[in-house]
Amino acid sequence: MQLYGTDITSRLLLGSAQYPSPAHLTKAIAASGTEIVTVSLRRETAQGSGAGFWDILRQTGVRILPNTAGCHTATEAITTAQMAREIFATPWIKLEVIGHSDNLQPDVFALVEAAAELTRQGFQVFPYTTDDLVVGDRLLGAGCEVLMPWGAPIGSGQGLRNPDALRAMRAHFPEVPLIVDAGIGCPSDAAQAMELGYDAVLLNTAVAKAGDPIGMARAMATAIDAGRMGFNADPMEAREMAAPSTPILGLAELV
């Protein structure tokens, strides 16, 4: 797939927070095969550990996608993005503007505002958004070339709470790279997102908080590959009634 003109092979984007240790993080990155890791500016600079953490990520060879996690206004998100560009030397930014403190739902009004300003400043914006078609249109109009709708609230592990809305989004934006971001809890959730025709999945907690983060990273990568292959194979449509797999004609009749 292509993201802002960059060819990306792996369809798994991985977060870098909450791992038991830096060693678990680096091994999970390797096991997942990811090429993109998200990093919060707050995580990078917390408690004076930023330089060491940044060195660890550099050694993995992945592309960094800084994010504005924890921002609650457009102004705060824009300022954070500007600082992230200086630190990580990339125009990429995962834009988060949180509007609800309990379910961490995006503030879509501030999100569009921030996306328009950051695009004007030369950023390549990856917006964490809802599965709303109108909001998606507004973000594309603001200059975004990628949309990242949530599957469920961040860190909830609930999977895809509204697959019909995600399916509609895929149909409405057939040429836009779409990445399910947030809510993935297990490999089957990731596979389902890919079977809907999504281009990639971004997840963090499901791997970082698993009993075996390295094993879960490998499982998620495998599920994403399987889901993508299934989508490309044009799966059969669901039926309301049974349909015999063995032809009736030609069967022996016992009299």
- Written as six digits, the tokens of 94 are 């995962």
Between the two ends of the chain, the Cα-to-Cα distance in Å is: 60
User: Residue 213 burial by CB count (10 A; 0-12/13-18/19+): exposed, middle or buried?
Assistant: buried
Query: Binding residue per annotation — 205?
Result: yes
Alpha-carbon radius of gyration of the chain:
20
Contact at 8 Å (CB) between 87 and 26?
no
DSSP for 83-126, please give it: HHHHHH--SEEEE--B--TTT--B-HHHHHHHHHHHHHTT-EEE
**Active-site hit among 85, 94, 170, 228:** 94
Examine the residue annotation and report whether 94 is marked as an active-site residue of this protein: yes
Query: Binding residue per annotation — 183?
Result: yes
Query: Binding residue per annotation — 103?
Result: no
Q: Side-chain half-sphere of 31: how many Cα atoms within 13 Å?
A: 17
Amino acid type, 207:
V
Active-site residues, by number, are 94
Residue set of the binding site for 1-deoxy-D-xylulose 5-phosphate:
155, 182-183, 204-205
Residue set of the binding site:
155, 182-183, 204-205
